[in-house]
Amino acid sequence: MKKLYEKNELGFALLWIGVYCAAGVPLRGAFGDESPVMLLGLAVIAGGILAFVKACRLEKKYGLVKWRGKAADYLFFLPLLVLTTGNLWGGVRMAYGGAAQVYAVLSMLLVGFIEELIFRGFLFRALLEQEAPPVAVTISAVTFGVGHIVNLLTGRGGLETLVQVVFAAAWGFLFTFVFYKSGSLLVCIAAHGLVDVFAKFAAADGGSGYGYITATVLTAVLYCAYLSRKPAALQPEAGKQA
C-alpha cells in the first residue's frame, strides 16, 4: 500500500474506493446494516485505513486534526450540523430492535469515517495535487454521489437511487468544501456519521423526504458559494496552485 501511495496517489485512492465497494456492497446486500457481520467488515476496513494513515504519519494531510483558525471563523459549520438532523424531520422511529439497532448505529458511524477518509481524504487530496481546486472539489463530490449507484445492487429502485445520487453529491460538495477550507476532516466525519445514524431513527418517509433533499441541495449551493470566499487551509503539495 505504501509503495502504491508513493508512486501513484490517485491510484491508491481509487484502490481503496474499489475495496470498499467490493466488500461493503455484498455485505450490505447479504446481511444488512443491522448485522454484526456488516459491522465487523466495516471495522476491518476502517482499521486498515487508520493503521495506514498513522503508520505513514499522514494525520495532518488527511484532516485527522482540529480545524485551523479562530472559532468565530467556523460558524459556517452550523448549517452543516443542522442538516445532519434532516432524517428526523419526518418523525422518529427505530429501524430495528435491540442489538440490531446498536449494530446498525455503530456500522453507520464507521461508514461515515471510511467514506470521508477515502473520498475527501485520499481522493480529494490526490486530485488536489493534479488539478485546480475547483476541479478537484467537483470530481470528489460527483464521484461520491455517483458511487451511490451501487445501491441498485442492494435492492433499491432506480428513482430512489437517482435521488440518493443527487442527495449524496450535494453532501459531497459540502464535505469537500469544509475540508478544503478548514483543513480538518473531523467535522465532516462527525456530520456524515450522524446523517447515516439518524437515518436508522427516521420514520418511514423521514430519510427520503423531498423537503430534506431539496433543503440539502439548496444549502449546498449557497453554502459552497459562501465558503468559496474563505481562504483555503489546504494547498496542493505539487502541481497546480489555487
pLDDT of residue 52: 96
Q: Using one digit for the tens of pLDDT, what is the confidence trace for 186-227? A: 999 999 999 999 999 998 654 457 889 999 999 999 999 988
Q: Using one digit for the tens of pLDDT, what is the confidence trace for 34-88? A: 999 999 999 999 999 999 999 999 999 999 998 877 766 667 688 888 999 999 9
Buried residues in 92-108 as b, exposed as e (16+ CB within 10 A): eeebeeeebbebbbbbb
What's this model's pTM, rounded to 2 decimal places?
Answer: 0.90
What is the phi/psi pair of residue 202, to 5°? -85, 145
DSSP H or E run through 165:
helix 158-182
Name every residue whose Cβ is closer than 8 Å to that of residue 18 and which is 6 or more positions away in sequence: none
Q: Using one digit for the tens of pLDDT, what is the confidence trace for 4-35? A: 999 999 999 999 999 998 998 888 888 999 99
- Beta strand ranges found along the chain (DSSP E): none
Q: Quote the distance between the C-alpha of residue 165 and its chain's center.
A: 13
